[in-house]
Amino acid sequence: MRIVLNHLTRMRAPRICIAGIEPATGRHIRPITGRDRPLTRDHLGEGGGTFRLGAAIELGGVTAAPAAPETEDHWFTPARARLQRVLGADEYLELVDSHCGENLEEVFGPALERREWRYAVDAGSGESSLGCLRVRRRPDIEISSYGRVQLRLNDPIRPAFAPVTDLRLFESDHETPLEDAIEDLRRRMGRGVQARLMVGLARAFVASGDNSERHWLQVNGICMEDRPLGDLP
């Protein structure tokens, strides 16, 4: 199976999560491994590994492991994955753009519900957990008073917020935000540079103040039209 990597997500350091578009079908694929052999920063291109944004990767043999809403999950063996090539910036943007939804419901379906200032899918519900979103209204990115990076989606009725997990916006500890990079993004968004968001649903958990497990919306990656690829968004 061949994918082009477009989600590069931080987890608890040094763990990472990856996902990509299968060009042959246009569907998203999330390669997963067992807990005893997690994907880490050592698997990244910067460390001599295979995985980087825009990389066309042959995964080798995979086994589908769908469970709603994570229908994209496929078991694979990282050592068998092979880098074929890295797409150019324009080619990558064209691929992402061709698979973008125009709104969150188009990406995740009716199972996605608004809950106060955020969006979530009930545990065990939904048909997808990954996608790309073409942003029509200018978003804002910020570091909250709690030190968390979040994106403000400027809904015409009222805004919503989603945590940003784009690995490129954090130090190697996966906790410390890269303030200069985030400020640069904020300025470019403010100038009207168009953004495509790699959106996903987190694994189910009970959020503070809630009483049920839900998969909460997060922004796994930010693709800006003026710089679609790079070490920084």
pLDDT in tens, 90-112: 999 999 999 999 999 999 999 99
Q: Are 70 and 30 in contact (CB under 8 A)?
A: yes
In a domain, 155, yes or no: yes
Within a domain: 231: no
State which of 91, 115, 142 marks the end of a domain. 91
Domain, as residue range, for 149: 100-224
Domain count, the chain: 2
pLDDT in tens, 183-229: 999 999 999 999 999 999 999 999 988 999 999 999 999 999 999 99
The answer to whether position 136 is within a domain reads yes
SS (H, E, C) the chain: CEEEEEEEEECCCCEEEEEEECCCCCCEEEEECCCCCCCEHHHEHHHCCCECCCEEEECCCCEECCECCECCEEECCHHHCEEEEECCHHHHHHHHHHCEECCHHHHHCCCCEEECCEEEEECCCCCCCEEEEECCCCCEEEECCCCCEEEEECCCCCCEEEEECEHHHECCCCCCECHHHHHHHHHHHHCCCCEEEEEEECCCEECCCCCCEEEEEEEEEEEECCECCCCCC
Same domain, 105 and 187: yes
Reply yes or no on whether the pLDDT at 157 is more than 80.
no
106 lies in the same domain as 73: no
Q: What is the pLDDT of residue 47?
A: 73
- Closest of 202, 199, 198, 168 to residue 185, by C-alpha: 168
Q: What is the pLDDT of residue 231?
A: 94
**Are both 147 and 217 inside the same structural domain?**
yes
**111 and 54 share one domain:** no
Is residue 233 in some structural domain? no
Q: Could you tell me if 30 and 107 lie in one domain?
A: no
Residue 23 shares a structural domain with residue 123 = no
Q: Report yes or no on 216 lying in a domain.
A: yes
Q: Is residue 129 part of a domain?
A: yes
Q: What is the mean pLDDT of residues 22-39?
A: 94
pTM: 0.96
- Domain presence at residue 68: yes
Task: Identify the pLDDT of residue 93.
Answer: 97
Does 46 lie in the same domain as 106?
no
The residue from 91, 121, 143 where one domain ends is 91
- For residues 76 and 18, state if they share a domain: yes
For residues 191 and 158, the model is more confident at 191
Q: End of a domain among 71, 91, 111?
A: 91
- The reply to whether 107 and 216 lie within a common domain is yes
Q: Are residues 71 and 123 in the same domain?
A: no
Are both 146 and 56 inside the same structural domain? no
Same domain, 154 and 171: yes
| pLDDT mean across residues, the chain | 95
